[in-house]
């Protein structure tokens, strides 16, 4: 599955594509919502590993506008609940991710992103 | 005792295309179980399994009280599907990605992987055989390891931790641990020495076991 947490960790890795290769743009995506177990400690710990603007942007593209432009200093429960939902409960099942730099298309099918490259595209 | 993951949803037909959990898989599970207390104490956030096959290892509840993010990769699409299903079956959300080794993750997971797992294709074969198996991305890719059985593993060893000149990226977080399955033919002492000399990574043999003709090891690497 491609949750937004996963999307936040994937970058284009085609040969020579080393800058502006993240975040991948979402295209024609179909989304499913699934409940995940809430764990505030995990979220507080994980926030340092997130590229925040990329997450906010991806969520907005999918119609979720609950996250602020900057992560707040006070991470109260209300904020963490929203973060939890965006990171872990939105699953992209179908669609594609496109590199903003080289336009390489990575399809998503049955919740599995195909990040394979053809032989000549491997760096 | 941590229960072995439920694999009842997988059938013979699946194992025609995907590596069926075997002694090497179970040795890795036993090693993770043995380290469970320490692993839990280190509060891992990101766990990455390369070559997840059936998904048996990523679905193992060794950190059950503190859910990290489980990401898995495989070059075999059937394996990616099985991994995802095995995660669902065992109530562990695994982000199963179709890619070779750490492709597409290297950029963002630089210094971010807390637990790295790899049970590689480790059987010594002709180099061509390993190349073909990688290309076909089918069941032979589960075992065909090329020269010394190290052709695929060597690439990963280069990605775990930078060399002294810092020229390559690195996966492990400051407290990260890397668990590697190997067989005797892979030259385990040689691997450990090389990781120490070139990457300054300490290592321990967590477990070893003879299973039929194979002498299996699980080696754990960390910054000491
Ligand atoms: C020995 S099996 C281990 C499967 C599973 N982790 C287990 O322990 O039962 C090796 C796995 O690595 C996968 N593999 C081989 N080459 C790979 C590559 N270049 N990138 C990702 N996975 C690969 C195979 O498809 C296979 O699923
Ligand atoms: Zn690109």
Per-residue pLDDT tens over the stretch B82-137: 999 999 999 888 999 999 999 999 999 999 999 999 999 999 999 999 999 999 99
Q: How many CB atoms lie within 10 A of CB B38?
A: 10
The reported pLDDT for the residue numbered A34 is 92
Could you give the domains of chain A? Answer: 2-113 (2.20.25.10)
Between the alpha carbon of residue A101 and those of residues A91, B29, B67, B180, the distances in Å are: 25, 41, 34, 35
Between the alpha carbon of residue B32 and those of residues A65, B23, B58, B85, B111, the distances in Å are: 40, 14, 11, 21, 21
The reported pLDDT for the residue numbered B65 is 59
**From A46, A111, A117, residue closest to B103, measured CB to CB:** A117
Q: What is the mean pLDDT of chain B?
A: 92
The span from the CA of B96 to the CA of B88, in Å, is 11
The reported pLDDT for the residue numbered B166 is 53
- Domain locations in chain B? 14-222
Q: Is the pLDDT of residue B63 over 80?
A: no
The reported pLDDT for the residue numbered B55 is 96
- Who contacts B170 (Cβ-Cβ below 8 Å, separation ≥6)? B110, B111, B159, B160, B161, B162
Q: Is the pLDDT of residue B139 over 70?
A: yes
Distance B124 CA to ligand 2 centre (A): 35
What is the residue whose two structure tokens read 């699980």?
B218
Q: Is the pLDDT of residue A6 over 60?
A: yes
Tokens of B189: 């002492």
Q: Is the pLDDT of residue B43 over 60?
A: yes
| Assembly ipTM | 0.95
The reported pLDDT for the residue numbered A12 is 97
The reported pLDDT for the residue numbered A87 is 95
B219 within 8 A of B179, measured Cβ to Cβ:
yes
Q: Is the pLDDT of residue B42 over 90?
A: no
The reported pLDDT for the residue numbered B163 is 65
What is the residue whose two structure tokens read 């096959």?
B53
- Helix, strand, or coil here: A46? helix
Residue B84 in contact with partner chain A when CB distance is under 8 A: yes
A117 within 8 A of A102, measured Cβ to Cβ:
no
Confidence of residue B170 (pLDDT cuts 50, 70, 90): confident
Q: What is the mean pLDDT of chain A?
A: 94
Which residue has the least CA distance to atom 27 on ligand 1? B53
More confident residue, B48 or B158: B48
The reported pLDDT for the residue numbered B165 is 56
Q: What share of chain A is helix, strand, coil (3-state, %, to 5)?
A: 35, 25, 45
Whether ligand 1 lies within 6 angstroms of the CB of B152 is answered as: yes
Least confident piece of the model among A99-103, B57-61, B164-168: B164-168
CB spacing of A113 vs B46 below 8 angstroms: no
Give the CATH architecture of domain B14-222. Answer: 3-Layer(aba) Sandwich (3.40)
Whether ligand 1 lies within 6 angstroms of the CB of B101 is answered as: yes
The per-residue pLDDT for range A32-81, each reduced to its tens digit, is 999 998 999 999 999 999 999 999 999 999 999 999 999 998 899 999 99
Tokens of B93: 């959300």
Question: What is the length of chain B?
Answer: 224
- Helix, strand, or coil here: A101? coil
Considering only CB atoms, which chain B residues are within 8 Å of A10? Answer: 97, 104-105, 108
CB spacing of A116 vs B93 below 8 angstroms: no
| Helix B127-136 and helix B151-160, axial crossing angle in degrees, nearest 10 | 70
Chain A to chain B, count of Cβ pairs less than 8 Å apart?
A: 82
The reported pLDDT for the residue numbered B86 is 95
β-partners of residue A96 are A27, A107
């Amino acid at each position: 599955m491609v949750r937004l947490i996963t999307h936040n960790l994937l970058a284009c890795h085609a040969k020579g594509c080393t800058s502006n290769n993240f975040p991948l743009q979402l295209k024609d995506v179909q989304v499913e919502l699934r409940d995940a177990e809430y764990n505030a400690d995990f979220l507080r710990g994980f926030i340092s590993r997130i590229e925040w603007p990329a997450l906010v942007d991806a969520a907005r593209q999918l119609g979720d506008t609950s996250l602020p432009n900057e992560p707040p200093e006070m991470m109260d429960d209300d904020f963490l609940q929203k973060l939890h939902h965006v990171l872990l409960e939105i699953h992209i099942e179908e669609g594609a991710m496109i590199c903003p730099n080289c336009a390489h298309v990575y399809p998503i099918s049955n919740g599995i992103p195909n990040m394979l490259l053809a032989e000549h595209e491997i760096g | 005792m941590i229960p072995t993951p439920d694999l009842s949803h997988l059938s013979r037909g699946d194992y025609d295309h995907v590596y069926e959990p075997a002694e090497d898989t179970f040795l890795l599970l036993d090693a993770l179980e043995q380290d469970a207390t320490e692993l839990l104490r280190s509060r891992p956030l990101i766990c990455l399994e390369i070559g997840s096959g059936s998904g048996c290892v990523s679905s193992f509840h060794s950190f059950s009280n503190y859910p990290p993010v489980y990401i898995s990769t495989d070059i075999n699409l059937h394996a990616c599907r099985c991994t995802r299903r095995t995660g669902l079956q065992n109530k562990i959300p695994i982000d199963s990605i179709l890619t070779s080794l750490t492709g597409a993750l290297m950029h963002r997971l630089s210094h971010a992987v807390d637990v790295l797992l790899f049970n590689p294709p480790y059987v010594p074969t002709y180099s061509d055989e390993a190349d073909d198996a990688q290309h076909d991305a089918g069941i032979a890719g589960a075992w065909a390891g090329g020269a010394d059985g190290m052709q695929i593993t060597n690439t990963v060893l280069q990605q775990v931790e930078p060399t002294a000149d810092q020229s390559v990226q690195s996966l492990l977080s400051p407290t990260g641990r890397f668990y590697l399955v190997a067989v005797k033919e892979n030259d385990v002492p040689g691997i450990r020495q090389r990781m120490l000399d070139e990457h300054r990574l300490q290592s321990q043999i967590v477990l070893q076991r003879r299973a039929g003709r194979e002498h299996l090891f699980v080696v754990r690497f960390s910054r000491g």
